[in-house]
Structure 1
């Protein structure tokens, strides 16, 4: 089920919202059970076949966590087995065919592909459960209710595409009795955020998607202008798609009085690659830092090893996003950029802010091409077109037919991403009044009128 669908907005969400607070009046445990069962229904709407995988993962990881909490011996072994289980589960479903294709290519073998459909959200709930096991091992977790744990993993606003939540961030909120009653301020802020996120996805991201898809599908014939329209269209599509999802997830959780961590903080305002990763997919960066970079030794070792650790983290980040060499290349390029940034900083060098922003944005825009392209040939076609001065004008028929709209969208998206306060900043300062209500209502109504063309969020693929 998609956040941007009629059945979610006008049926599932109202039923879950009112049912939750009615159940809480009977007993808080019934309210939590209602949320858990509803979240399972939400997940199974996409493909009921993989519901068993989510449940098995929850039950097995809860078992590992219980062992770690109760046992004083062999805890490291239990943690290791738990991590291996989670990584193997993710590896089998997400990377099996990728590894087989590369083995067949390298050794001229003919192993069969399984053609597995990637289980929705497996990348997110796997990382979330690994973090939980490590936190239990480090004695950062004391609470051990199965219902609480199951809800922590499956809570529908953050289940599909994050944010990747820490146990300690939400468990106290689930047991806080003051959160069992409707909160007018949270409802206002939640609906405000949800409306902004829905508008970003339906009105902005999905429009840019049309142009980006057209450009990448015809990459061999792009001119200079076509290449830049293609790359920037995807750059802004991904921005508004992912930020839209993040807004909607946080807004939905607020309706149930749960505050999820911020996952998106105006990343295109970044003035360095390090600044970008402090703003983009914040909870993924936090996970990679806390559970990979620091355990490897972080920057507490030699300079050479520190650079190796940075490279490993971004290699994993690229591979986590997708089973393909273009994703790995994207991760490696970001890792190399982070190493260059670190060296630049250590040498005491500095660029003017506007130049630093320009270099950072151009690097991000160029590397997104690899992130989007189905193969290296397509990526190189788009990048080559972007520096092809022998053929400058717009030639793509779709681009020419929508030239005025394209220009307005590119300028408007740039202004929104670079100069306007982000939705979280707006919401933090929100004081519910008729003006804000009317603004949110206009965004919601406009987006709702476009729900006939439902599309998945881009991060569903990762």
Structure 2
């Protein structure tokens, strides 16, 4: 079920929320938990009920193994280590079967000339996210970090519908204790903040992301067919997709945070103005924050991190980013995208090391130059990420470099046939780039309110439960709801 659908907004969410508070007031925490589990499973099954059993089986298996390690093999014993290895391998094996079988067979056929038939396996929705959540749980159970083994709380931790499909990736130690402190009295400030964040995320998706997609989709479709585009067309498509992906996924993540707040649950933020980053290292601290933290904690550090010298650190970074790229999808483009970002990060570390050895004051222009260089590097990466083949990516890069002949007399975008004048897509790009670069992030406004609430009277940009903010959020929500036509899937659903 899509967050940006009439069914979800006008029926599912109000019913689930109302009954949650009513059941909690009358029956307490356990019945309310069971209700949220049932609602979340229905939310998932709305897409394809056949995979509901797979989700339930995965939850049952991982809970049983985690409980066994935590209770029977307390401490990092050889038996627990073996059990951890087998269970993690089982999770990764399940993910690999559904996500990479067709990719492996197709690659084998292409490289070796074999004729394996492709089973065309349908990827279960959310399998990447609920697999990573559960692997983190198993590792923490092995390390003795799990303090509670309640089955129903564990189920809700995995299936809670705000984060089930596309994150954020959350830790049991951060979320399960909150389930034990459900407050069934409506907190107006919490609900107001939740509705603010949800409305902002919905607006990002249906107004910004879906509108700019109209300029990205035809460009990449043309490139996939080998069309030689003008430089203006190629850059339009690359920048449009760069903005579409940001507003689509950050919009989803904001909606997830806002929805959880309606139930009194606080999720971690997943974005912090990543296109303002002054380096690629900084970018990965701001983009898809929970995935970056997962890869750092459960892959990069176990590989040795930076503890075994610079050369080994760079190898570990490349492995981490390669696997992070492959996690996003079964295509060589994702592998190439991960390798490119690994190369970027290695260069960034080498540059930082050189700057430290040289010492001296930095130029006041350095942050601006760093942001510009980082943004262009990220755009180049998104081109590979979006293309359906490396050949299409090559076509895009040649077009962006002006290496293809262009019919200048036909306008800036001769191959795309836009009904709008050329200045309309350019103005759209400029407006969204201004929002990305020069407006405060939603995260910063909310965190400033929570750390230092502004006075009740007077004007303040920080969020607060006030009439002014209520009007502002109401207008944003109304514009978003008026833009709901045929709901489009979120881009990260495919991962």
Separation in structure 1 between the aligned mates of residue 110 and residue 238 of structure 2, nearest angstrom: 31
Separation in structure 2 between the aligned mates of residue 160 and residue 125 of structure 1, nearest angstrom: 8
Separation in structure 2 between the aligned mates of residue 404 and residue 54 of structure 1, nearest angstrom: 48
In the other structure, the counterpart of 2:354 is: 347
Report the alpha carbon displacement of residue 114 of structure 1 after superposing the two structures with TM. 1.2
What is the 5 A alignment of 1:8-407? 8-25=8-25, 26-72=27-73, 74-177=79-182, 179-219=183-223, 220-348=227-355, 352-388=366-402, 391=406, 393-399=412-418, 401-407=420-426
In the other structure, the counterpart of 2:458 is: none
In the other structure, the counterpart of 1:416 is: 435
CA contact (8 A) 2:218 2:416 kept: no
Report the alpha carbon displacement of residue 437 of structure 1 after superposing the two structures with TM. 1.2
Separation in structure 2 between the aligned mates of residue 27 and residue 123 of structure 1, nearest angstrom: 33
Separation in structure 1 between the aligned mates of residue 87 and residue 420 of structure 2, nearest angstrom: 55
- The C-alpha deviation readout for 1:190-215, integer Å capped at 9, x for no partner, is 10111110010001100111110011
Report the alpha carbon displacement of residue 399 of structure 1 after superposing the two structures with TM. 4.0
CA contact (8 A) 1:67 1:78 kept: no
CA contact (8 A) 1:192 1:427 kept: no
SS for the counterpart of 1:7 is helix
- The C-alpha deviation readout for 1:57-83, integer Å capped at 9, x for no partner, is 000000111111112251001111110
CA contact (8 A) 1:32 1:147 kept: yes
More deviation in 9-18 or 215-224?
215-224
Tell me the TM-score normalized by structure 1. 0.97
Report the alpha carbon displacement of residue 106 of structure 1 after superposing the two structures with TM. 2.3
- The C-alpha deviation readout for 1:91-118, integer Å capped at 9, x for no partner, is 0000000011112222222122111111
Separation in structure 1 between the aligned mates of residue 88 and residue 483 of structure 2, nearest angstrom: 43
Separation in structure 1 between the aligned mates of residue 109 and residue 228 of structure 2, nearest angstrom: 32
Summarize the Cα distance change of 1:238–1:21 in structure 2 as closer, same or farther, 3 Å threshold. Answer: same
SS for the counterpart of 1:144 is coil
CA contact (8 A) 1:268 1:418 kept: yes
Report the alpha carbon displacement of residue 404 of structure 1 after superposing the two structures with TM. 3.4
Report the alpha carbon displacement of residue 452 of structure 1 after superposing the two structures with TM. 1.6
- The C-alpha deviation readout for 1:376-433, integer Å capped at 9, x for no partner, is 1211111111110763633234446243331221111111111111112223322111
Report the alpha carbon displacement of residue 2 of structure 1 after superposing the two structures with TM. 0.2
CA contact (8 A) 1:205 1:240 kept: yes
1:431 aligns with 2:464: yes
- Runs ≥4 in structure 1, deviation > 6 angstroms? none
Separation in structure 2 between the aligned mates of residue 435 and residue 398 of structure 1, nearest angstrom: 43
- The C-alpha deviation readout for 1:284-327, integer Å capped at 9, x for no partner, is 00000000111111000021111110000000110000000000
Gaps in structure 1 of 5+ consecutive residues: none
CA contact (8 A) 1:264 1:279 kept: yes
More deviation in 180-189 or 284-293?
180-189
SS for the counterpart of 1:128 is helix
CA contact (8 A) 2:337 2:384 kept: yes
Separation in structure 2 between the aligned mates of residue 325 and residue 384 of structure 1, nearest angstrom: 19
CA contact (8 A) 2:219 2:416 kept: no
SS for the counterpart of 1:180 is coil
Gaps in structure 2 of 5+ consecutive residues: 450-462
- The C-alpha deviation readout for 1:321-358, integer Å capped at 9, x for no partner, is 00000000000000001001111111116671111111
Separation in structure 2 between the aligned mates of residue 397 and residue 341 of structure 1, nearest angstrom: 37
RMSD: 1.3
Separation in structure 2 between the aligned mates of residue 107 and residue 224 of structure 1, nearest angstrom: 37
SS for the counterpart of 2:219 is helix
Separation in structure 2 between the aligned mates of residue 142 and residue 444 of structure 1, nearest angstrom: 40
CA contact (8 A) 1:314 1:335 kept: yes
More deviation in 212-221 or 34-43?
212-221
Report the alpha carbon displacement of residue 453 of structure 1 after superposing the two structures with TM. 2.1
Summarize the Cα distance change of 1:397–1:92 in structure 2 as closer, same or farther, 3 Å threshold. Answer: closer
- The C-alpha deviation readout for 1:106-157, integer Å capped at 9, x for no partner, is 2222122111111000000000100000011111112000000000000000
Tell me the TM-score normalized by structure 2. 0.91
CA contact (8 A) 1:235 1:368 kept: yes
CA contact (8 A) 1:394 1:400 kept: no
